[in-house]
Structure 1
């Protein structure tokens, strides 16, 4: 039995010209705007400072950082240690440096 292909639906939103709100949506927004901030329940949100929050931010695993090519001089024994585990020694070196960077940022 052959499956029927479902059509692909796409929608583009122009942020400068959003679709009009329905009467129900407008009423809901108006009701929310009338509520005082004291009625907002923050129980499920951990308290932190703005600076603290940004240092703890982690990029999505879907994001791939930009790599830069460089020339670096390493001690021969350090390079041998990185290479002894096989392929991917440059990625291991990057991971070690990234962890050191994050540890240092955590201490600030």
Structure 2
């Protein structure tokens, strides 16, 4: 490493110790506006996370032979998604199941 390069990345230049050590004075509360009914009405609750899927996936348990699993795994990352897509294409149509005889 050359002398002109820093050993670590650039600093943000913040003084967190000074910020943490600050005690809010009563006069500082005067700078804050009063909350009005209009301000509260504009407020939104952000629950975070992903939006709910219209077609969520369910966890199930299925037994497959080892050779089937190994062949799918050999196709690389995303093999479970590709397997689900293949099963979806091959799935019987709704109401078209076999009748018990």
**TM exceeding 0.5:** no
Higher RCO structure (Cα 8 Å, ≥6 apart): 1
Name the TM tier (shorter chain): 0.3 to 0.5
TM-score, length-normalised on structure 2?
Answer: 0.37
More helix by share: 1
